Structure 1
Amino acid sequence: MKVKSFVFSICIFSFILVAGCSSSADWNSRFVVWNGYLYDVSEEYITETDDEIGRVTKYSDKEGTYSGTYSNKYKKGTKLYSIKGVHTDEAIAVEEDGKYRKLINNGKYGEK
């Protein structure tokens, strides 16, 4: 009887541990990773974009490390643009509901 109780306790503990680890994590910020850099979504919209510089290739709302151009806010296929008069090292723009939202460079991805 003690062995069954012990095994049952281990099973319950394992279930709780796995359930807690596999939940969908909410990252601290909304972002796009482009060209190896992390761009945080700002509240600012811009009126003039320049060239299309890429598209989101992966969307995930689960915390993790991914390669390519990905986002935890924007779906696959969302267009990214350079901003007229602003270097891409500083900021880029994302097309959102017919408007362009500014994304601020927050440094090399994976270094923070």
Structure 2
Amino acid sequence: MKNNRSISQVLFLILFALLLTGCSSSKSWVSDFVVWDGYYYDISDEYVVGIGEEIGAVTKYSDVEGTYSGNFSNHYEVGTKYFAISGIEPDEAIAIEEDGRYRKAVSGGKYIEE
């Protein structure tokens, strides 16, 4: 009888651990980023002031790791605007509008879509 209780306790602990793992934070990307025009841009800590024209906006947001299409972000809400930076080519960096300021996002390469 003692052996059956021991097995039940172990099974309960395994099930409980699996449930806890499933309920933990779903965000597992290494960094915050945006996707624009098929490329991803890592969000830096730097703010820029020389802003050019608006070039796009976030069309899809998710904090669940996966591959998404469009102008996607794992940090910014849908509608957040992207801008060119004066003197910098958009394939190098873009600016993301954030609370009246513009945060620099640096290109990390081609974004692979499903």
Same fold (TM over 0.5): yes
Question: How big is the alpha-carbon RMSD for the aligned residues of Structure 1 and Structure 2?
Answer: 2.3
2:58 aligns with one of 48, 56, 59: 56
Which stretches in structure 2 are left out of the alignment for 5+ residues? none
The aligned amino acid for 2:49 is: T
Q: Distance in 1 between matches of 2:42 and 2:19?
A: 30
Alignment of 1:28-107 (within 5 A): 28-107=30-109
**Where in structure 1 do 4 or more consecutive aligned residues deviate above 2 Å?**
12-23
Q: Secondary structure at the match of 1:66?
A: coil
The aligned amino acid for 1:91 is: A
Q: Secondary structure at the match of 2:30?
A: coil
1:14 to partner: Cα distance: 7.3
Q: Sort the Cα spacing of 1:66 and 1:15 in 2 relative to 1 into closer, same or farther, 3 A.
A: farther
1:20 to partner: Cα distance: 3.6
Size of the aligned set, in residue pairs, is 107
TM-score scaled by length of structure 1 = 0.80
1:53 to partner: Cα distance: 0.3
TM-score scaled by length of structure 2 = 0.79
Q: Sort the Cα spacing of 1:64 and 1:19 in 2 relative to 1 into closer, same or farther, 3 A.
A: farther
Q: Distance in 2 between matches of 1:30 and 1:47?
A: 21
Residue 108 in 1 paired to residue 99 in 2?
A: no
Which stretches in structure 1 are left out of the alignment for 5+ residues? none
Sequence identity, in percent? 54
1:18 to partner: Cα distance: 7.2
